[in-house]
Chains A and B, each alone.
Chain A
Amino acid sequence: MQKLTDSTTLDKQDNPAEPAFPKTLDIATVSVYGLAILSSGIFLFLPLVNLLHPSPWQRSIGMLHGMGAMLATIVTAYAGHLAFPLLRGSAKVLPQMRTLAFWSAIVTSLAIATGNLGYMRYRADIAYDGARAWLKLNSPLTQYIFMEYHEFTVLFTLPLAIGCTYVLWAYGDRILEKAYRPVLAATSIAMMGMMFFAMGGFATGLAIAKVHAL
């Protein structure tokens, strides 16, 4: 009986005259890349859904902040994940970590700036259907649990990103030496913290927008 798990048996060509059936490894590779591209494309499309919203503020400011927050989350999450090989002392990721920390600082600044813009309209009067006023009346826990956490902790990403950028640059390649292990560990943990606060901000922001838009 042919073993299904045996790729060499499956890849064996019975009739040389027929076009060769692709190797299972190639099919798997194309499938993985295809799924990754399609699913990330759908995920990145998320802020554009704001364009269909009936509120003009959600269509404009909401979409801008959504794009900024999405970009910040992706870049900081990528940096946070690479903090694990950095912690293990991988020299290969070090140049990339320096630039990633820098770009994390840039995109979190953008997310905070667009967030300030959105926060203005969030605090609009109840007569104009301001989200904050409406939430306090109708769903106070959304304001007191999600928004209180969201508006403060997302700001923590900026000093963490700038601190990491400075330390990774200043200590250069010597950060991987044994003498600097505490510095390397503190930097890696700071990058993981940055990822944590960015992802927390993104999740709570989505939760608030789901209950009441701008």
Chain B
Amino acid sequence: MTQTSNTKLPIYSKVWNGLKKFPGLLSQGSATAPKTNGRAAAAFLSGGVGAMTMMIVHHICDTNADFEKWIKFTFGAWIPGAINPDPMWGNIGSYAGKETTMLLGWLVSWAILHVVLKDKEVRPRTIFLWMLGLYTVAASMAYHPLYPYMPLI
């Protein structure tokens, strides 16, 4: 859009157009794109790895009370409210540790995959299969085929 036509716009359109380009440095994008798709593959696959890590930890926690306690105190304690003795306010409990394992699984695997894949051309099928597969399996792992329903029997 030219400067002349922008000055004729109503104030709300000017505000909206400004918001769409904020922050300006980000809206312009990088001038030099990577030559391969490896960096993109690392960015997308690592999120799925983090999600799967959390869901595996969640399943182990629900079947092993000692492991759940360890996860809670070792990985979750840094999150405010993870440990709180007040029964009226409650606490986040082992969920704080599970969140942390997702964060660690995601960021550590991103760093590793970035270094490994940054100059490589990854097959598109591999990117889509692993990205969609990891997130789909992780989402379905919110449900265990047996243990959540045990109290209902």
Please determine whether chains A and B interact with each other in the same assembly.
yes
Residues of A within 8 A of B (CB): 94-96, 98-100, 102, 116-117, 119-125, 127-128, 130, 136, 140, 144-145, 148-149, 151-153, 155-156, 159-160, 162-163, 165-175, 180, 182-183, 185-187, 189-190, 193, 197
Which of B26, B34, B84 is within 8 Å of A171, CB to CB?
A: B34
Contact A163–B29 (Cβ < 8 Å): no
The residues of A that contact B91 with a CB separation of less than 8 Å are 120, 123
Contact A140–B90 (Cβ < 8 Å): no
Contact B87–A127 (Cβ < 8 Å): yes
Given contacts A153-B138, A156-B138, A160-B47, 19 further A-B pairs with CB under 8 A are A95-B21, A99-B20, A99-B23, A99-B26, A99-B27, A116-B81, A119-B90, A119-B92, A120-B92, A122-B90, A124-B87, A125-B88, A140-B152, A155-B54, A168-B29, A170-B39, A182-B124, A186-B124, A187-B40
Contact A163–B90 (Cβ < 8 Å): no
Nearest CB in chain B to that of A156: its residue? B51
Nearest CB in chain A to that of B138: its residue? A156
- B93 contacts partner chain A, Cβ-Cβ < 8 Å: yes
Cβ-closest 8 pairs across A and B: A159-B47, A125-B87, A172-B29, A182-B124, A124-B90, A174-B33, A123-B90, A163-B43
Residues of B within 8 A of A (CB): 20-23, 26-34, 37, 39-41, 43-44, 46-48, 50-51, 54-55, 58, 79-81, 84, 87-93, 95-96, 98-99, 102, 106, 124, 127-128, 131-132, 135, 138-139, 141-143, 148-149, 151-152
The prevalent SS among residues of A at the interface is: helix
Query: How far, in angstroms, from A197 to B51 measured CA to CA in the complex?
Result: 12
Contact B27–A95 (Cβ < 8 Å): yes
Q: Report how many A-B pairs have Cβ atoms within 8 Å.
A: 157
Nearest CB in chain A to that of B32: its residue? A172
Contact A152–B33 (Cβ < 8 Å): no
Query: How far, in angstroms, from A168 to B29 measured CA to CA in the complex?
Result: 7
Known: A120-B89, A163-B44, A182-B124. A94 touches B139 (CB 8 A): no
Minimum CB–CB distance for A45 against chain B, Å: 20
Minimum CB–CB distance for A182 against chain B, Å: 4
16 A–B contacts from the bound complex (CB under 8 Å): A94-B29, A120-B90, A152-B142, A155-B51, A159-B51, A163-B46, A165-B26, A169-B26, A169-B30, A170-B40, A171-B40, A172-B31, A173-B29, A183-B37, A185-B128, A186-B40
Contact A180–B37 (Cβ < 8 Å): yes
Query: How far, in angstroms, from A117 to B48 measured CA to CA in the complex?
Result: 25
Minimum CB–CB distance for A34 against chain B, Å: 15
Contact B92–A171 (Cβ < 8 Å): no
Contact B139–A153 (Cβ < 8 Å): yes
Query: How far, in angstroms, from A149 to B141 measured CA to CA in the complex?
Result: 9
Known: A96-B27, A171-B33, A186-B131. A130 touches B90 (CB 8 A): yes
Known: A98-B27, A155-B102, A156-B135. A175 touches B79 (CB 8 A): no
Minimum CB–CB distance for B82 against chain A, Å: 9
Contact A148–B131 (Cβ < 8 Å): no
